[in-house]
Amino acid sequence: MINLDIDTSAMVQEFNLSQKEVDGLLQHAVEDIAAEFASVWENVANSTLNQSRVQYANAIQVAKRGQFTAVVYLNPAAWLPNAIEMGHSSFDIKKGLLNSKKVKYTTKGKPYITVPFRFGVPSTIGDSEAFSGIMPTSIHNEVKRQAPGESLKMANIPSQYHIPKSIALRKQVKSGIFTDAIKRSEKTSIYKGMVKTEGGYVTFRRVSLASDSDRWIHPGFSAANLAGQALSKLNIPQQVDISIDNYLNELGF
């Protein structure tokens, strides 16, 4: 919470301001500080986050809460930005996927869903939300050699990319080192089965009740506290002075 303590007595005497004008000045300063804080917060998010930065920035809201009061907050309906900001423990993505509206059922009534993962080519901007990741140049070279509709086989994947993602994720969970982008756990290379489609390069993974318990574990988030970082960067006295000057200019002083 930011409490503004603005002494208007000198301005009232110098410019002969009415109570209405004083109230307008204070309201103007509150709204300016709120808008500036939101802007600084968004800049911190853009410079700190990667794939989630657009979604996070879009969740920053500014609203009035009566006279001389404004709030800047993350939209409570935006789950990912709030998880990034406040932190979230490790969780099983599989549960959410199997509750999706796109889930299908086997003849025995068991739910399953096929999840597509798009990969950008090496020249793709790394923070694009459209991609699960950016493939290495060596993987791109291999998949380009494939015939249309052919999937990338393990034999054609360089050995350094054979390491299952699940191993790395379990190490992250145990060590407490988390990332800000949703990851998935694999028993094999994340590039296995990659095909080129009209929408780009895609792999598909099946999720069902039979999927291993640790195969779709998200390592969680450590609290980013981007709002706190933004607050530390906000020069409140300077912004108040600017706001007061602008308001007095609008009154013709």
Q: Establish if 140 belongs to a structural domain.
A: yes
Examine residue 3 and state whether it is found in any structural domain, yes or no.
no
Report the pLDDT value the prediction gives residue 72, as an integer from 0 to 100. Answer: 94
Do 183 and 103 share a structural domain? Answer: yes
241 in a domain, yes or no? yes
95/210 same-domain check: yes
Residues 230 and 149 in one domain: no
Into how many domains does the chain fold? Answer: 2
* Any domain includes 141: yes
pTM: 0.67
- Asked if residue 125 and residue 213 are part of one domain, the reply reads yes
Question: Does residue 191 sit in the same domain as residue 100?
Answer: yes
Per-residue pLDDT, averaged over 36-47, amounts to 94
Comparing 27 with 213, the larger pLDDT belongs to: 27
Instruction: Please tell me whether residues 197 and 235 are part of one structural domain.
Output: no
121 or 154, greater pLDDT: 154
> Both 44 and 159 in a single domain?
no
Are both 35 and 57 inside the same structural domain? yes
Residue 37 domain-assigned (yes or no): yes
Three-state SS for the chain is CCCCCCCCHHHHHHHCCCHHHHHHHHHHHHHHHHHHHHHHHHHHHHHHCCCCHHHHHHCEEEEECCCCCEEEEECCCCHHHHHHHHCECCEEHHHHHCCCCCCEECCCCCEEEEEEEEEECCCCCCCCCCCCEECCHHHHHHHHCCCCCCCCCHHHCCHHHCCCHHHHHHHHHHHCCCCCCCCCCCCCCCCCCCEEECCEEEEEEEEECCCCCCCCEECCECCCCHHHHHHHHCCHHHHHHHHHHHHHHHCCC
Q: Is the pLDDT of residue 178 over 50?
A: no
In a domain, 4, yes or no: no
The answer to whether residues 17 and 82 belong to one domain is: yes
Q: How many CB atoms lie within 10 A of CB 186?
A: 20
Of 25-29, 163-167, 217-221, where does mean pLDDT reach its minimum?
163-167
Whether residues 77 and 116 fall in one domain: no
Residue 124, pLDDT > 80, answer no
Give residue 29's domain range. Answer: 9-86+224-250
Is residue 124 located within the same domain as residue 182? yes
Domain membership flag for residue 79: yes
The predicted pLDDT at position 61 comes to: 95
- What is the per-residue pLDDT across 45-57, written as a single tens digit (0 to 9) for each? 999 987 788 899 9
On whether both 108 and 184 belong to a single domain, the answer is yes
Domain membership flag for residue 69: yes
Is the predicted pLDDT of residue 76 greater than 80, yes or no? Answer: yes
